[in-house]
Amino acid sequence: MEIQSVGVIGAGQMGNGIAHVMALAGYDVLMTDISEDALKGAIETISSNLDRQVGRGKVSDQDRNAAMDRIKTTTTLIDLGACDLIIEAATERETVKQAIFDELLPHLTPTTILTSNTSSISITRLASRTDRPEKFMGFHFMNPVPVMQLVELIRGIATDEETYDACRRVVERLGKTSAAAEDFPAFIVNRILMPMINEAVYTLYEGVGSVKSIDSSMKLGANHPMGPLELADFIGLDTCLAIMNVLHDGLADTKYRPCPLLTKYVEAGWLGRKSGRGFYDYRGETPVPTR
């Protein structure tokens, strides 16, 4: 199964990153979003990020221009129907993802591979509601996509070997490394990472340490490049909460109970960097802890 064209659903942080690396690897990319402004913003972001790679000597001017030429956009979801591979990178809500697949399914070719960039939702369940569970799998990139080297490949119970091998070859062509994960809540990376972040929030909630002391302790004491609360802000507190809820609901273990303080921040709309405030306030020149 030779993949030449890739459809990307969603022009947000993950979607534009996926479009970026796919185009740079030589795939023809069609990116869709319900917002024309979001698509324009994504193209600007991709262009800027490619310029940064050119400046660092990682990408040539010729390759940068060729990659930009390979990316097309549309606000009409069904235009992606002719693509060989489709990667859904919409918001982390199952109802939204299901609605997208329902609209898209009648317009796909018989050989189109459907994948989701979901960070936690059951691939088997998503696949079971399509007409091609054997050609459906999880294709989970890490954020930021152009920088991070890992891609989790998650097979649902019905995913066939041909589909898995085709996606694995795509990851190799991107110059990234794939990790095969079983279809259990949050897969590998977030199964380990999110409870650590949640525990850091509990540490803050219980007054064991301040935002600054918790992040400094993990950076200097465990050699983490970012503190867990700083990382939560980068990921998005709403995303962190959604994944913890998936873990808690899917595994029925109290150790995955989301910290009430995390829930409170999300209820306040303090979602991290993208909203200007989270565990840090980003509205000034330098981030300032909010607790």
Domains of the chain (ranges; CATH) run 3-180 (3.40.50.720), 190-287 (1.10.1040.10)
The annotation places the binding site for NAD(+) at 10-15, 33, 92, 97, 119, 143, 274
Q: State the catalytic residue, choosing from 49, 122, 140, 178.
A: 140
Verify whether residue 152 is a known catalytic residue.
yes
The DSSP bridge partners found for residue 28 are: 5
Instruction: Chunk the chain into consecutive blocks of 10 residues (it has 291) and report each block's average pLDDT, rounded to whole numbers.
Output: 94 96 98 97 97 96 97 98 97 93 97 95 96 98 95 97 97 98 94 97 98 98 97 95 94 97 98 97 96 93
> Do residues 278 and 270 lie in contact, with contact meaning Cβ atoms separated by under 8 Å?
yes
Quick one: pLDDT at residue 91? 87
Verify whether residue 119 is a known catalytic residue.
yes
Q: State the catalytic residue, choosing from 49, 88, 122, 152.
A: 152
Quick one: pLDDT at residue 216? 98
Verify whether residue 107 is a known catalytic residue.
no
How big is the chain by its Cα radius of gyration, in Å?
A: 19
Give 170-176's long-range contacts (Cβ < 8 A, gap of 24+).
Answer: 170/3, 170/27, 170/85, 173/25, 173/26, 174/21, 174/22, 174/25, 175/25, 176/21, 176/148, 176/149, 176/150, 176/151
Pairing outcome for strands 113-116 and 85-88? parallel
Quick one: pLDDT at residue 92? 85
Beta-carbon contacts of 165 under 8 Å, excluding residues fewer than 6 positions away, are: 1
| Cα separation, 288 vs 52, whole angstroms | 27
Q: State the catalytic residue, choosing from 119, 120, 122, 178.
A: 119
Quick one: pLDDT at residue 117? 97
Work out the end-to-end distance of the chain between its first and last CA atoms, rounded to an integer number of angstroms.
Answer: 53
Quick one: pLDDT at residue 142? 94
The annotation places the binding site at 10-15, 33, 92, 97, 119, 143, 274
